[in-house]
Amino acid sequence: MSQNDEQTTLNLPVSWKPFYREDLIRIGSEHDGGYVVTENAVNHSDFLVSLGIANDWTFEEEFNRIRNCDIHCYDHSISFNYFLEYAVRNFAGCFFPRQLKNKIWVISLALRYKTFFRDGRKHFKEKIGNNPKEETNFEKIFSRIPDDKEVFLKMDIEGSEYQVLNDLDKYYRRISGIAIEFHDVDTLYDSVHKHIEKLKEYFDIVHVHINNCGASDADKIPCVIEVTFENKKIFSGKPRLSDLQYPLPDLDNSNSPYMRDYRINFSG
């Protein structure tokens, strides 16, 4: 692994500083695809809705092991046939040890997909957006879930979050927690700030992490951040802002293992 000698510090507004929670856990991949959430939010969840999974559903697998709840995943870019065809295309060629390891991983994706997505764990090959004729919005997503079920929401949809977040407030009462990746924070800062401040009316920010695969602008505002929220109604303690330094050494890992994580300076 090659890493920079010095850890870079990037800036986020102090209003995005997390509230302290002593029950933070990491779920999913050790690197990109893993999220830090609260046990409280997981345990209050009857359902997991995951928007954007690509070839990594380790978060969904581990969430299922912890909570054993129904799971609805949305991603228009993948399917069992997609992984099967991908495996066939990549299986030809020389079998050098490093290539063979990658080919086995590719083949295993199709098998893992078939094994995981069955019974109450469903994958909808649908694109998330605000065009109801061609895309799936939150109204359609929540119509598939009984009204009395509490939902944990994970979102990583490469910028499409800004198309649908305005309509999420109709379902705040049904959401225990949210783990969301905000993209293009540096160029869409005002929009990101608006969405986060709106969410904060009903949710506490409980964790923030900068995706080190993204860059930053001249003001050291990161391009991509991961923010975890917990619904205020399920927290029984006295809220207080965290005085911890981020990233958290025992929970956070860099999205790309080949670069150091960014430190966060909450200011302004």
User: 153: which 2 tokens?
Assistant: 């929401």
Q: What is the pTM of this model?
A: 0.92
Contact 42, 68 (CB under 8 A): no
CA 103 to chain CA centroid, nearest Å:
27
pLDDT digits (tens, 9 = 90+) for 116-135: 999 999 999 999 999 988 99
Least confident residue range of 100-104, 170-174, 247-251, 255-259? 100-104
Average pLDDT, the chain: 92
Q: What angle do CA 21, 23, 27 make, to 5 degrees?
A: 115
Characterise 207 by phi-psi region: left (phi > 0), alpha (psi -120 to 50), beta (else).
Answer: beta
Helices (H), the chain: 39-43, 58-67, 80-91, 97-116, 138-143, 161-164, 189-199
Specify the pLDDT at position 3: 43
pLDDT digits (tens, 9 = 90+) for 38-88: 999 999 999 999 999 999 999 999 999 999 999 999 999 999 998 888 777
CATH code for the part of the protein at 9-78+125-267: 3.40.50
**Tokens 């709106």 sit on residue:** 198
Specify the pLDDT at position 158: 87
pLDDT digits (tens, 9 = 90+) for 138-190: 999 999 999 999 999 999 998 889 999 999 999 999 999 999 999 999 999 99
The residue extents of the domains of the chain are 9-78+125-267, 79-116
What's the mean pLDDT in 193-198?
97
Q: Is the pLDDT of residue 94 over 60?
A: no
Specify the pLDDT at position 87: 75
CA–CA dist 86, 100 (Å, integer): 15
